[in-house]
Structure 1
């Protein structure tokens, strides 16, 4: 073994040992988190890794930034062979060319991807320093960190080309004819003698390998730790329906000191790992309706704060550092994350949808809301009224529970108490039961079901709120009380199939009731109405000349991926011209009412519903269609605020369909 080989072996061993030590340190920090099983169904998890991590499915939603990152990622994957070349040369004075002719193709792709990575780095630096999109405008330390990483990658690529170029000139490069970039680099050093070429080769090789090893050991201290953790984080992402929150157990409640998350050690190990994995790309914050309209919430900063707090507190909790009262006297909530940030969230899931590494922001926000509500009894004053109404009237509003079924008077609809021998329960929800405007939607749905000959009944005053507003507001105890009472009612009447009129009810009944023993076949009314149209049980017989734009409900769309059904219904009506807003389908902008925001005042920044209404009105529609009571209320308020209520109507898909089907009529 030569002296160079020996020196390299020592440096390499030290670098790998240091990296493994720091990696072990980070894994040890996860021990402060609560347990959580994220290792079930490995087949499905591997599918996600191939489509999201390797296929870069989410990153490619943005064309320029997506392809830029795609080439950097795959460049690194393919250029691991170049790093292996350098390591083999350092240890044994050989490289991968010993495998034979196949190395020709490795050589070609090394050069191709190296070139694409360099171009991507230049674009990345241009975006960060010249173009400066809002989501990349981060604090100075993060900006410097990103720049250091980009420059490290840039010089790793340049020194790789320098190594291969001088190797070509020395006549030591096997199968170099396909190295189209390295060959051009080689021309730069053509006039150098053999000794100079040999010295340059050693310089390029040493700088290259030292940059690689330095890069590797810098990662555990950088926001680019995600290079190591992103693939595992995608593998470990939740396989539950996107709309399902983790429940709290209230067994032995008298022995529990606090509920929810106050500090980083109240989170699960996976939530802390999310903090490790955040790329700080800002896609979540750029899509957040609260942030867009000037609220203090930044989903990115929520997750970054978890990482900072974990790095600060974990070493002390694990006795890796001495006790520090300044550190232990702080908490994640209050010192890092404010109450205003948490209450600004509409739980629309845009942040989760856009995150390229599958971070789960909303669950973490709800866990901290749970602490505020259940442990501290700290929440916006408006929620006091909402919680009290839910406890006393089983609805967020101050309506008498005894009048819950009054909307159906004169429609000849029986309650299950009168006749439980029906196929479907029509779950009307609080808005359909009490809101004057949405009662018309409930009536429209009921009339359509009767026209189609569907066997259904309602619960009347036995129906109670599904618990969604309480749950999203952090009042898990109240939510579970309502959930259990409804499940008992369903069991009494042997309910198996449910049609809902509200996406929030739909999501809760379909995705969350199974955690409490309630398993049902649940349809949202647009799904069911589309089914009736396909089966020919509803027939469209009238024309409607109207330009309509459809607003996607977050709980119907991103939560449950129902995008086509409402559009298919509207598109099947003769004369209707569908107009798509720029932010639609899984990029749709929230109306501002989710996450119990419907029951809170919007005091900071621009109103979200105004932002959404302006986008809809920019298309000059005759009508804005929705399929959610909250969305209808917010959009109607928006249209009124813009003083165009006489020109643009806001209607539910069911109301529009009732106007054009055979036997249908407009609900007055």
Structure 2
């Protein structure tokens, strides 16, 4: 194999090193400025479980798993990422070999590296061209183009293109017999074939410095632009929360030194919550998948993070001491910025109350930005400190405080549904395997009582040992916690936990995903540690073991609606579908948005108890189900069942399309 003939006729390397040091200093200064802004936030530990964190970094960062959720932009980003990484690493090794005399770039290794560099570089150029075409020709609504977007793309493009031109000049000037191993450079060389050697030398020398300035300028520009996500987004994937997705942070309501509850000002956030603002790339995936934004509400998850970033850069630099004044503002104006409350100033209260907490924004975000803890923290401050919330919520709070359920029905009637069903309470017999958590909808809502009755009949048919709490059960607290009333939530949860622990409860069956999530992921924060199973999981097991056998066919075209709190929050997708596949005669047609991308019904996050303005979220979901041409929608959640049925009634399609809980469908087959 031949050795490489090095073509490198550049003098003045001391200027190159000086320029590198200057650019590095500019980079460090910029990054340190961002670091000081992050440090305004409170401490938060995000370095535990290093193995899981490194796995997330590899899988989601280097592997682009979540980015590839959208095929075209995801694939192009993958090509750009790895193309630029390989191109930069290869260029570094070539520079070591050519400039500093390391003689390891010879023979087969050199040829292989040259080919790899060219292929990766060409793919990266292709990706940039596609991004420019998409951003400035197709112009998706979710992309709000700013000058830095074009600057970043052109900077990367010019670095790559000038690198290929330099390679082409080298090939043209040296007559490299191994040019086939450099396809990008060979194409350039074919254009330069008629240019004399002296002219090529002049062009090479000038272009080399231009290429160097671009490359070093990229380093210097990075922390001052959107390009900072190259460093921050992978770090954000590493720092991603490892707690259960359905668990909110617990507020210490007995902390006598606490001056405020929830998130009132910027400094109430943690460093990680501020770090999120630089990880956000404004790609708009969160916005596209937000049911509130989709139906014309004033909430955009993307703008939510970007508004926080803007406020951080205004107020944060004052707090961090990185600048004393903002523009020509007076010290009085500076003080006003420092004292600004987030809710009502940085974010409109209406936007905060628009969220259904469906979690779709976080599940779609490639950079693992965490929206919900911030939003619910702001709600907590409004409720607990300002008593500011939609007026209809006051009725909900009173009903829960007085009667332990959202409807305000008398607590003594909570177990009336059980009459004639031979169901025993734990007070009568606590020697059972499972507690069946009925939930408020199952106990008081006439439509959802039928779901409870179906679950009970199936459990009895399978000879499952279970009991209920009856009148001792109170609301689990899901809605009030996500509305922001942490105090009322903890009070109700503590009462429920005390009762269950007194009976020695170990296992719980819940048919409501909201109850399921709260009991499974949040009660442990207050001493309630239970094995909680959703009824779809239990039914799948009972069918598999033969404890339940389906004999009567149900000849119907159906579609299945993944509820947010069972699906995105708890990743239960296969069990319900396994149950449906066991139903004889049933045909299942999936809606376009299903599983992790399932569209919300609109009732989560306490929205079940609030008035809805603008387009109705449940109507959008019902339309998607109707479009499949089915006559049955299968649900797993009381909220979803209610919202979908209401929408179908409003559309006068309730006679054509029925909504059933999965337990009702199974019971129909026995």
Going from structure 1 to structure 2, the CA distance change for 1:365 and 1:284 (only over 3 Å counts) comes to same
Offset of 1:219 from its aligned partner?
Answer: 2.1
What's the counterpart of residue 105 of structure 1?
112
User: Is 2:175 aligned against 1:167?
Assistant: no
Q: Is the 8 A contact 1:103 1:175 kept in 2?
A: no
What's the counterpart of residue 654 of structure 1?
663
SS in 1 for 2:518: helix
- What CA distance in whole angstroms lies between the structure 1 residues aligned with 2:310 and 2:149? 17
- What CA distance in whole angstroms lies between the structure 2 residues aligned with 1:347 and 1:172? 64
- What CA distance in whole angstroms lies between the structure 1 residues aligned with 2:468 and 2:201? 86
Q: 1:538-583: per-residue Cα shift (whole Å, max 9, x none)?
A: 0001111001111110000000111111111111111111011001
209, 215, 220: which one aligns with 1:212: 215
Q: Is the 8 A contact 1:84 1:95 kept in 2?
A: no
What's the counterpart of residue 302 of structure 1?
304
SS in 2 for 1:332: coil
- What CA distance in whole angstroms lies between the structure 2 residues aligned with 1:369 and 1:86? 55
What's the counterpart of residue 327 of structure 2?
none
User: Is 2:244 aligned against 1:236?
Assistant: no
Going from structure 1 to structure 2, the CA distance change for 1:198 and 1:96 (only over 3 Å counts) comes to farther
1:130-279 alignment runs, 5 A limit: 130-136=137-143, 138=144, 142-171=145-174, 176-253=179-256, 255-279=257-281
What's the counterpart of residue 328 of structure 2?
none
Q: Given the two structures, how large is their TM-score scaled by the length of structure 1?
A: 0.95
- What CA distance in whole angstroms lies between the structure 1 residues aligned with 2:319 and 2:178? 55
What's the counterpart of residue 621 of structure 2?
612
- What CA distance in whole angstroms lies between the structure 2 residues aligned with 1:2 and 1:147? 31
Offset of 1:186 from its aligned partner?
Answer: 1.3
User: Is 2:402 aligned against 1:407?
Assistant: no
Q: Is the 8 A contact 1:107 1:175 kept in 2?
A: no
User: Is 2:643 aligned against 1:629?
Assistant: no
Offset of 1:8 from its aligned partner?
Answer: 0.6
What's the counterpart of residue 317 of structure 1?
319
What's the counterpart of residue 449 of structure 1?
459
Tell me how large the CA RMSD over aligned residues is: 1.8
- What CA distance in whole angstroms lies between the structure 1 residues aligned with 2:510 and 2:131? 47
What's the counterpart of residue 426 of structure 1?
436
Offset of 1:200 from its aligned partner?
Answer: 1.7
Q: Is the 8 A contact 1:160 1:204 kept in 2?
A: no
Q: 1:286-331: per-residue Cα shift (whole Å, max 9, x none)?
A: 0001111111111011111222222222221123322622432434
Offset of 1:119 from its aligned partner?
Answer: 1.2
What's the counterpart of residue 666 of structure 1?
none
User: Is 2:24 aligned against 1:22?
Assistant: no
1:565-580 alignment runs, 5 A limit: 565-580=575-590
Q: 1:646-665: per-residue Cα shift (whole Å, max 9, x none)?
A: 1111110000000102xxxx
What's the counterpart of residue 665 of structure 1?
none
Offset of 1:173 from its aligned partner?
Answer: 7.0
Going from structure 1 to structure 2, the CA distance change for 1:333 and 1:573 (only over 3 Å counts) comes to same
Q: 1:614-640: per-residue Cα shift (whole Å, max 9, x none)?
A: 110111211111010000010000110
Offset of 1:96 from its aligned partner?
Answer: 8.1
1:501-580 alignment runs, 5 A limit: 501-580=511-590
- What CA distance in whole angstroms lies between the structure 2 residues aligned with 1:342 and 1:174? 65
Query: Where in structure 1 are there 5+ consecutive unaligned residues?
Result: 662-668
- What CA distance in whole angstroms lies between the structure 1 residues aligned with 2:209 and 2:575? 60
What's the counterpart of residue 125 of structure 1?
132
Q: 1:192-220: per-residue Cα shift (whole Å, max 9, x none)?
A: 22222122222222122211221222222
Q: Is the 8 A contact 1:84 1:96 kept in 2?
A: no
- What CA distance in whole angstroms lies between the structure 2 residues aligned with 1:205 and 1:95? 20
Going from structure 1 to structure 2, the CA distance change for 1:338 and 1:468 (only over 3 Å counts) comes to same
What's the counterpart of residue 3 of structure 2?
none
- What CA distance in whole angstroms lies between the structure 2 residues aligned with 1:272 and 1:86? 39
- What CA distance in whole angstroms lies between the structure 2 residues aligned with 1:32 and 1:263? 11
- What CA distance in whole angstroms lies between the structure 1 residues aligned with 2:480 and 2:34? 36
- What CA distance in whole angstroms lies between the structure 2 residues aligned with 1:439 and 1:42? 46
Going from structure 1 to structure 2, the CA distance change for 1:231 and 1:173 (only over 3 Å counts) comes to farther
Going from structure 1 to structure 2, the CA distance change for 1:2 and 1:548 (only over 3 Å counts) comes to closer
Q: Is the 8 A contact 1:624 1:650 kept in 2?
A: yes
Going from structure 1 to structure 2, the CA distance change for 1:98 and 1:531 (only over 3 Å counts) comes to same
Q: 1:60-112: per-residue Cα shift (whole Å, max 9, x none)?
A: 1111111111111111221222442575489x365886366323222112111
- What CA distance in whole angstroms lies between the structure 2 residues aligned with 1:317 and 1:174? 62
- What CA distance in whole angstroms lies between the structure 2 residues aligned with 1:199 and 1:88? 23
Offset of 1:430 from its aligned partner?
Answer: 0.5
Offset of 1:28 from its aligned partner?
Answer: 1.9
Offset of 1:184 from its aligned partner?
Answer: 0.8
Going from structure 1 to structure 2, the CA distance change for 1:332 and 1:85 (only over 3 Å counts) comes to farther
Q: 1:325-384: per-residue Cα shift (whole Å, max 9, x none)?
A: 243243433222111111110000110110001111111111111111111111111111
464, 468, 472: which one aligns with 1:462: 472
What's the counterpart of residue 664 of structure 1?
none
- What CA distance in whole angstroms lies between the structure 2 residues aligned with 1:564 and 1:17? 53
279, 282, 285: which one aligns with 1:283: 285
Q: Is the 8 A contact 2:558 2:588 kept in 1?
A: yes
Going from structure 1 to structure 2, the CA distance change for 1:415 and 1:173 (only over 3 Å counts) comes to farther
Q: Is the 8 A contact 2:94 2:105 kept in 1?
A: no
Offset of 1:450 from its aligned partner?
Answer: 0.3
- What CA distance in whole angstroms lies between the structure 2 residues aligned with 1:148 and 1:184? 26
- What CA distance in whole angstroms lies between the structure 2 residues aligned with 1:86 and 1:204? 17
Stretch deviating more after TM superposition (280-289 or 262-271): 262-271
Q: Is the 8 A contact 1:33 1:272 kept in 2?
A: yes
SS in 2 for 1:506: helix
- What CA distance in whole angstroms lies between the structure 2 residues aligned with 1:173 and 1:79? 20
Going from structure 1 to structure 2, the CA distance change for 1:165 and 1:340 (only over 3 Å counts) comes to same
